[in-house]
Structure 1
């Protein structure tokens, strides 16, 4: 048995990327959620139903002028409780990432289809963004004077 007299060269460990210190900023839907049955009923009565590939949605103007709100309805037809809860968690997470795009002065209600349970999260998030863009465009069409005032209020860059 022979032992090598040369010491093995020391290799430096690869540099590790460290995330910046500080608290994570997580947007919340707490103040932007529809909770009361009467608010849902008013939005259904005043809004119009629209469809996307994996959900239906309603958009209605608010009467009290509060901030933008979003509601989720997941019926029993979509599965057992744990499946419905998972659908709601996925939708809330996707909405939380884009809460700043909710149309101001409007209530948005989402009715997901069962496919939301199994679709890739990136596709779900892209569909949520598309719905929010359509809702903002529809709000601008409904209130052209308000959109014009908002664009004049923005400073020129």
Structure 2
């Protein structure tokens, strides 16, 4: 079964939609702006592309590798499922706060989408 067969079309998270190189992250930190909520800090800056690109930075203080990977998977899933609702043309780096480990997925989704829609 392919993604097109399962109805997942448009819900992928391709490499073009990700920030992967250190220089891309540094550019967002250096020249971008910041917004915060109770669960996330989001850094963003405009890009010249037709789509937004996302990066995730999970600090070691949040827990061991298993905990950090779980956080990363949850945040990536929120972005992947709602990518079409987020304004295009931005490079965005998402920093989860320690409260994400104790918060329901639905609450995290609402909080992150509220931040990202106001970029």
User: Where on the TM-score scale, by shorter chain, does this alignment land: which range?
Assistant: 0.7 to 0.9
Q: 1:69 to 1:111 in 2, by over 3 A?
A: same
Aligned to 1:72: 56
Higher relative contact order (CA 8 A, sep 6+): 2
Aligned to 1:131: 115
Runs of 4+ in 1 over 6 A off after TM superposition: none
Kept in 1, the 8 Å contact 2:41–2:96? The answer is yes
Which of 72, 83, 100 is the equivalent residue of 2:67? 83
Kept in 2, the 8 Å contact 1:35–1:71? The answer is yes
Mapped partners of 2:100, 2:31: distance in 1:
26
Structure 1 segments unaligned to the other structure (5+ residues): 1-21, 136-157
Pairwise CA distance, 1:103? 2.3
Matched, 1:42 2:27: yes
Which of 36, 42, 46 is the equivalent residue of 1:57? 42
TM-score by length of 2: 0.87
TM-score by length of 1: 0.67
Mapped partners of 1:67, 1:130: distance in 2:
18
Q: Which has the higher strand share?
A: 2
Deviations 1:112-148 (A, max 9, x none): 011112210110111121012111xxxxxxxxxxxxx
Count how many residue pairs are aligned between Structure 1 and Structure 2: 113
Which of 86, 98, 103 is the equivalent residue of 1:114? 98
Deviations 1:48-80 (A, max 9, x none): 222111111111011x43521011100111110
Q: 1:37 to 1:66 in 2, by over 3 A?
A: farther
